Structure 1
Amino acid sequence: MSRFQINARKLLSVRTSRFNYEKLPGAESQASSPLFSSPYFRSWKQRNQWPNRLQRPRLSFARVVTLIITALLLTSMLATGLYRRHLRDRDRGKGEERKLYHWEHYPKLSGFYSGIRNLVSYEDWVSEQDFVSHSTSSNPEDNIKPKAPERKENKEPPKDPIVFNPYPDFTSEEYLKTYEKVEPCYLDDEDKVETPDIYAYPGIPQNMTAPFFGSYEELGMNEKVCFDRFGRFGPYGYSYSREEGGLGMSGKSESAGADKIWATEKKVDWRNVDWGKAQKRCYEKNKIRFKSNETEAKENKDGEGAQPAKKKLPRHAYILRTWTGYKYSDYQILTIRAMINELAIKSGGEYDVHFLLHVKDDSIPIWSSHEIYQKTIQENLPKEFWGMATLWSEQQMRMYYPEPFPNNVYNHAKAPVHSVYRSAHFALQWFAQYHPEYDFYWNWEMDLRFSGHYYEFNNRIGEWAKRQPRKGMWERSSRYYIPSLHGSWHNFTEMIEEETFNSDEKPVWGPPKFEHAPDGMLPSPPETEPPVSYLQDNYEWGVGEEADLLTFNPIFDPAKTNWVFRDDVSGYDLDLPEPPRRCAIITVSRLSKRLLDIMHAETYLMRHHMFPEMWPPTVAFHHGLKAVYVPHPVYFDHNWPLEAIDGTFNHPPKPTDSVFGWGEHNQLGNSFYYNAAFSANWWRRWLGSRENEQGGTEFEESGSGRLCIRPTLFHPVKYEKGAE
């Protein structure tokens, strides 16, 4: 959900790009800059009153005629001038191109659109950046041989798709030594309809663009495969007819070789699937595998001859934040089916997917009538998801977290504290109290898309975060990881340590000490106190500890930026400096039950409140919890020099240059940010759409075929379309 939709004056007309770039927060102070200026008309308050105490003078006929003619001439001149100004302002965008952002001068990248006929093995793949760099290099010792895509007459992909299975071998002896047996789950009551697999191609299109940020290898993800739309969504109904139980969406798509998945895959009739019931059946079959009071009590019993206790797994609630009136396209339904099947059903119940549905009309008595509650769900969700919804409203939150929330520093949004815009976290906190059975809660937005396998992504990033030490954690999480520049994660860690040592700032080590504590703060959990000093620790504390917060953008200090909502802070003593804060743009995250419980207590006991992007990171920071930014792969549509992208995103020279503030225009050309314009364009091209007069079926059929992309998280995608 965009955080800056309230300012209608943001948009700039763009001639050199097909994207609409947004005017940035703080633009009022930049009105004199040609980059941010916009035409406007001044309005005057007309005064046409005769003073009551004066007598109106008598006028001769000739004088009246003269005055009328003069008035007509003046009116005509004024109207003509205004009209000409209107035409000039209207045509200004046509005659004058805006000043380009600095990054728009870098060469455009196009390897994203290298198609499936260009597939090569990972070992033979050369990224577009390396191909361009070494093709133009004058250095004869360049050790990468440039490779251009091969154009073949054969329209079939050179490789066949394969089942993509990121799960542990649940039946292996090694797995069963450590964990309880996994009972397979099905889509129907009779355990006859098996769950589908998805398919990937073993390779990457030659000269496919490489991500600038993040690393598949570091996160433990399979970096040697790519996904096309048929292998990814075909099993969920994309590529077969509605009469067969599919959605019949692929009729106009380029499809050479796509039918090969049906040699091993069975088509599922999705018309009668009840996902809520399927999830519950799956959990009931496998509940012995998970942490609970009962199983933990059994583990503590030492009976004679008892077998060693097996490890219990955490459970996850995967929460889709939706609202009444939201329209679910067929593409959205494909995405949600993939989430539920891959996270909940095929994992043996490790996840439950929920819809946290915001009832925007407070007058609907959803709490008074079960019938109205169910009717609201049925009117606002596709039938297959009816059994997965939990309703909430802003009126409910006003009762659950009543006023006052005093001492607000600055409410830039000019919205009530209980509005979803300022307090989206209220419903999430309440949900965690209402559903305390989970260990982790994923806060997921409806405009997110993922091209890879959900279980691989969620599982790998959770395991990666668990391995991270606490030393340097906050400092590393405030930077973007650029492997081509920083090298290995170990090198990146050492670099951050050196930067911290050479700076004037103390590294974060346990709960910070600041003036509001201890009287104005809740106590932190005792286990968050460091066991040794910062210098004594050898990157050991925190290793093996689950992260309380995972974010997908860096966790930065908003006080060092001009981010527009940095001062939306309530409940703290205004006679003292503002408390230290942390922020991660976009509320998408994974939160632990421990973190949500503390957020809940801070809200209802202390009346503390901050803007949604600030609140979870700040509570984790204040209470010494483990918070980690996940370096997932992020792509850019321009070929940034590595030093330039590092300097812009990681080391802005002054606060006004921060990419979290007025410098957010730097994010427009990437695949993941709240205003990333490139993201949706690339996603729709992958679906087969013609975008900005490029791509589409004819382009794919006459060129290198449909797109095949590596696992990528896209945001925002506000609408979708495919081949037409």
Structure 2
Amino acid sequence: MSRQRLLILITVVLFFLGLVGTGGYRRHQRQAQQSSPRQAYPWEKFIRLNGYWNGVGNLVPFKDYVPEQQSNATAPEPERKHDATSGATPPFDPVAFNPYPEYDSYDYLEAHSPMQKCFLDEAETMSPPDIYAYPGVPQNMTAPFFGSYKELGLAEDVCWERFGRFAPYGYGYDHRDGGVGLSDKSERAGSERVYQMMAGGTDWRKVNWGRAQEACTKKNKARFEPQADPKKKRVSRQAYILRTWTGYRYDDHQLLTIRAMINELNIKSGGEYDVHLLVHVKDTSIPIWTDADIYQQTLEENVPEEFWGIATLWSEQLMRLYYPEPFPDNFDNPSQHPVHSVYRSAHFALQWFSQEHPEYDYYWNWEMDLRYTGHYYEFNDKVANWARKQPRKGMWERSARYYIPEKHGSWADFARMVEEETNLSQESPIWGPTVFPNNGMLTSPAENFPPRSYADDKYEWGVGEEADLITFNPLFDPTKTNWVFRNDINGYTLDAAAPPRRVAIITVSRLSKRLLDYMHNETYQMRHSMFPEMWPPSCALHHGLKGVYAPHPVFFDRNWDLDYMDQVFNRPKKVEDSVFGWGEHNQLGSSFYYNSGFSGQLWRRWFGYKENNEGGSMAEVSGSGRMCLRSTLFHPIKFERGPTD
């Protein structure tokens, strides 16, 4: 090597080392700045709750259950049998959980066509499995702060541990037998009873979900068609849509969840639901809409084989063709993303899907980082039933608030309180389609105009009417917050104020075909659109459709003062304090929000993993056994595996 080349090499090396050193120093400075103590949020000063970690060894009948928030901290723990190697033995056995209608009953068959039993395989030798819950609750288990099992009609007297919930889908037995393993180091006292009731596990490698769903629907076709006999009720068809993408990693835990969804929603119900994977192809250069071979190759490279038959691909480029530019008169675009990006218009693909699949009455928009400890059919069915019973009077106003039973009392008490607050406010209640200055709107349906005045209605209008929109966080007015995307609105005239609108954080929801048709036509014909969490609620608001927030149980990691909680979540003093904006830090300790930290901690420890150096198999064995939680909807779960010890 020449001397000149050597000098150049030395200079380059020294320069590189200088960059590395400077970068390391800057990183150290940033870390030093970030590690400086900040002032604690007020909610962080509340006492941590620990009843979540009470396990199956602490089970008591629900009539004897006392929530942690009401318990005497010095009260003795329930007596329990304990094995130093396997853990605390549950005091009673789990039972098969069956939330379905009595399909063989006289009453059901009087009102409906018979339900034909479905199977997992073409030969009809593989029956769909049951799942198992414990008929009780761990003593001093923490109670939810928001929402109510009783109000929604969900079973409040059972709890779920990981074997009863997921062993039927492969948890706890080897891949060689068609399972997923995962339980090698698990505390498992009493779990053998689940396997005895299962009478052998299902070999999930042999299941083709697309074929199984299609066969189940075909077998039960008569239930979903208009009935010639007026005494027979048509059963609604529903699509359950999982929003996934190319490159998504389907962990074994995710396989358990998707299998549970399909089995419980479709196979066991006789085809009432179809589960779909709506797969976002991120590479917009792949012509999935013109080349069948490329479409199939892309699908097979990005989706596990057992789900190939339930997957549908889409891309942003396809949406540009389906909803072509222009989308004029944008009020604000804080993200700076184009309108067709999934970040700003995830609803485009859902609208498109509903036009491609008009056979469904309702569409559940579900995210891949949701998890549920309970039975999917029970949750969906009870939520829909509850929403159907809700009157339209005060509907939007009730749905704008969190329901805190220990603070607000019964749902009837809560409804009266909201009506009183509405009457005392300077704002008119929402009653039918919303009128505002615009540059062209679709005509709202005649049946959505009130049959009488707001004052004359006795909470009658809307009762028995299916909800067009069901959300799982409140439907709030973004003008009363500093939520960053509140003005991301397209297509409405800039010569007037922004249109009235509502938002539900997290796009998870159930939408009717009618609502999706309005969303599609407003987008296609009028070029109207908004940020994804704002568009379905706002479209429902504009056209007088029925939209409700379902008060499902939500837990917190600390023992909040209820008056303070009500003030923070329902009555912020100024827009900057709203929990849907700068005040969203108040949601970090909850089990359900877009940025909750507690949800992941609770879910992973329920699966037996250590979190923040707490929990794990040794803690379960030496304590009250594995966790047993009541039915709980978690979001977000960004990862599921963790150390066992």
In structure 2, relative to structure 1, the CA distance for the partners of 1:593 and 1:86 (3 Å cut) is closer
Alignment partner of 2:92 out of 134, 140, 159: 159
Summarize the alignment of residues 46-445 of structure 1 with structure 2, pairs less than 5 Å apart: 90-94=31-35, 96-131=36-71, 148-150=77-79, 152-153=81-82, 155-266=88-199, 267-290=201-224, 292=225, 295=226, 298-299=228-229, 308-445=230-367
Superposition CA RMSD, Å: 1.7
How far is 1:173 from its partner?
Answer: 1.1
Name the CA distance, whole Å, in 2 between partners of 1:90 and 1:310: 67
Report the 3-state secondary structure (helix = DSSP H, G, I; strand = E; otherwise coil) of the residue aligned with 1:240. coil
Report the 3-state secondary structure (helix = DSSP H, G, I; strand = E; otherwise coil) of the residue aligned with 1:616. helix
* Alpha-carbon contact 1:202-1:225 (below 8 Å) kept: yes
* Alpha-carbon contact 1:322-1:357 (below 8 Å) kept: yes
Name the CA distance, whole Å, in 1 between partners of 2:203 and 2:24: 62
Name the CA distance, whole Å, in 2 between partners of 1:461 and 1:421: 28
Summarize the alignment of residues 675-686 of structure 1 with structure 2, pairs less than 5 Å apart: 675-686=595-606
Report the 3-state secondary structure (helix = DSSP H, G, I; strand = E; otherwise coil) of the residue aligned with 1:510. coil
Aligned-partner residue type, residue 681 of structure 1: Q
- Matching residue of 1:709: 629
How far is 1:90 from its partner?
Answer: 3.9
Name the CA distance, whole Å, in 2 between partners of 1:222 and 1:340: 21
Aligned-partner residue type, residue 320 of structure 1: L
Aligned-partner residue type, residue 91 of structure 1: A
Name the CA distance, whole Å, in 1 between partners of 2:183 and 2:30: 45
Report the 3-state secondary structure (helix = DSSP H, G, I; strand = E; otherwise coil) of the residue aligned with 1:590. strand
How far is 1:626 from its partner?
Answer: 0.1
* Alpha-carbon contact 1:178-1:311 (below 8 Å) kept: yes
Summarize the alignment of residues 446-525 of structure 1 with structure 2, pairs less than 5 Å apart: 446-516=368-438, 520-525=440-445
Report the 3-state secondary structure (helix = DSSP H, G, I; strand = E; otherwise coil) of the residue aligned with 2:501. coil
How far is 1:148 from its partner?
Answer: 4.1
* Alpha-carbon contact 1:552-1:629 (below 8 Å) kept: yes
Name the CA distance, whole Å, in 1 between partners of 2:454 and 2:517: 28
Gap runs ≥5 in structure 1: 1-79, 137-145, 300-307
Name the CA distance, whole Å, in 2 between partners of 1:165 and 1:545: 26
* Alpha-carbon contact 1:620-1:626 (below 8 Å) kept: yes
Report the 3-state secondary structure (helix = DSSP H, G, I; strand = E; otherwise coil) of the residue aligned with 1:583. coil
In structure 2, relative to structure 1, the CA distance for the partners of 1:105 and 1:402 (3 Å cut) is same
CA offset digits 1:657-708 (Å, max 9, x no partner): 0000000000000000000000001000000000001000000000010000
* Alpha-carbon contact 1:562-1:660 (below 8 Å) kept: yes
TM-score by length of 1: 0.84
- Percent identity of paired positions between Structure 1 and Structure 2: 62
Number of residue pairs aligned between Structure 1 and Structure 2? 619
How far is 1:263 from its partner?
Answer: 2.1
Report the 3-state secondary structure (helix = DSSP H, G, I; strand = E; otherwise coil) of the residue aligned with 2:342. coil
* Alpha-carbon contact 1:147-1:207 (below 8 Å) kept: no
Name the CA distance, whole Å, in 1 between partners of 2:139 and 2:366: 33
How far is 1:501 from its partner?
Answer: 0.6
Report the 3-state secondary structure (helix = DSSP H, G, I; strand = E; otherwise coil) of the residue aligned with 2:343. coil
Q: Which has the larger radius of gyration?
A: 1
Report the 3-state secondary structure (helix = DSSP H, G, I; strand = E; otherwise coil) of the residue aligned with 2:220. helix
Aligned-partner residue type, residue 100 of structure 2: Y
Report the 3-state secondary structure (helix = DSSP H, G, I; strand = E; otherwise coil) of the residue aligned with 1:252. coil
- Matching residue of 1:696: 616
Name the CA distance, whole Å, in 2 between partners of 1:82 and 1:436: 56
Name the CA distance, whole Å, in 1 between partners of 2:254 and 2:105: 35
Gap runs ≥5 in structure 2: 1-20
How far is 1:363 from its partner?
Answer: 1.3
* Alpha-carbon contact 2:58-2:77 (below 8 Å) kept: no
TM-score by length of 2: 0.94
Matched, 1:537 2:537: no
- Matching residue of 1:57: none
Aligned-partner residue type, residue 650 of structure 1: N
How far is 1:153 from its partner?
Answer: 3.3
Report the 3-state secondary structure (helix = DSSP H, G, I; strand = E; otherwise coil) of the residue aligned with 2:108. helix
Report the 3-state secondary structure (helix = DSSP H, G, I; strand = E; otherwise coil) of the residue aligned with 2:128. coil
